[in-house]
Amino acid sequence: MQDYSGVWILAEQRHGTVQTISYELLTRGRALADTLGVPLAAVILGPTDDAGLDELIRRGADRVIIADAPELAEFLPEPYTRTMAHLVKTHQPEIIIAGATSSGRTLMPLLAITCHAGLTADCTGLDIEDETGNLLQTRPAIGGNIMATIKSPAHRPQMATVRPKSTRPAPADPARTGALIRETIDPELLKSRVKRLGFTPADADAANIQEAEVVVAGGRGLKKGDNFGLINALAALLGGAVGASRDAVDRGWIGYPHQVGLSGKTVSPKLYLCAGVSGSIQHLAGIKTSENIIAVNSNPEAQIFQVANYGIVGDLFEVLPLLIDKIKAKQAATAATV
């Protein structure tokens, strides 16, 4: 195992553009690489614009390993797995971390099996063990009621996926320099028994919840699905997306793509406003990187108030209509003075 060295992050591109999850992973990877005193590499599969490759270096990568074969432009499990396995065999990294995205969650288990390595999914914390240099992979277990720390001491590379929006993207440093390494991939590795026929996007509002700067969420306190009209109205006024607790989704009040938390989506907006959300551990884990959290709940002991920047103890059916009216009045006054 001493032959394995270095930390990799699996960057992602879509239509040639580097995705934000890549910069979040660089934050995680840079901390691990600095602790170990080894280089940090970003690996990216598929044709990617040069500006995006340079940006990976500016945001923390010491080198970028590029496999830009046209066959890798869109994610397909077989060519991606074979290409990554080839790169691992060639460069022998000791750690690989990827996003818990649809492609990351598909690729990394296949890669783990191919490389006979360990993999921990949906990690919330990554660290290095002082005595051994092993990767400590922390993730929720038992329905989110405990946090388990997992190691893969006997195999390399050590691999983990982390949730999008669970870390702030690494800031860009225009002065950073690094190496771009372009790999030639054997055409045999790029063959696939699966053909991509097309792409159907999800519901626009639900799909954008992780990118939204404002998220307005409702929970069990809304009492019935029809009352999500208040959440929808407030989100529309604020130009935000609609979120929900697991309770609300389980009751059929709103679709799963809106679910926020460990079993849903992790969000990191500038403003997260929630009403009728008690604040379970699982839900709090999905909103902890939000810049500002405003909570409305009738229970002064609700867990959500422990993380909220601003809390309103009151009946949401009184508070939200007042808030909607105030915002409408403010917007009307602003429009009248323009």
**DSSP codes, 233-246:** HHHHHHT-EEEE-H
pLDDT tens-digit series, residues 141-167: 766 567 889 999 999 999 999 988 888
pLDDT for the residue 215: 94
- In this predicted structure, the answer to whether residue 192 has a pLDDT above a threshold of 60 is yes
pLDDT for the residue 40: 97
**Of 95 and 207, which is predicted with more confidence?**
95
Please give the mean pLDDT across all residues of the chain: 91
- If you average pLDDT over residues 184-194, what whole number do you get? 94
| Lowest-pLDDT range of 51-55, 184-188, 206-210 | 206-210
pLDDT for the residue 207: 55
pLDDT tens-digit series, residues 282-294: 898 888 889 999 9
pLDDT for the residue 322: 94
CA–CA gap between residue 25 and residue 313 (Å, rounded) = 37
- In this predicted structure, the answer to whether residue 206 has a pLDDT above a threshold of 60 is no
DSSP symbol at 130: T
Sign of CA dihedral 289, 263, 297, 267: positive
- Was domain 204-337 assigned CATH 3.40.50.1220? yes
pLDDT for the residue 10: 97
- Give the N- to C-terminal CA distance of the chain in Å, as an integer: 67
| Lowest-pLDDT range of 196-200, 204-208, 253-257 | 204-208
- If you average pLDDT over residues 131-141, what whole number do you get? 89
Residues recorded for the chain = 338
CATH of domain 7-190: 3.40.50.620
The full set of domain ranges for the chain reads 7-190, 204-337
135-141, strands of its sheet edge to edge = 125-128, 135-141, 146-150
Cβ count within 10 A of residue 133: 16
pLDDT tens-digit series, residues 239-290: 999 999 999 999 999 988 899 987 788 888 999 999 999 998 889 888 888 9
pLDDT for the residue 205: 53
Whether the domain at 7-190 and the domain at 204-337 fall into the same CATH topology: yes
Q: Which residues contact 108 (CB under 8 A, 6 or more apart)?
A: 10, 96, 98, 119, 121, 159, 161
Nearest of 128, 149, 144 to residue 38 by alpha carbon: 128
pLDDT for the residue 265: 86
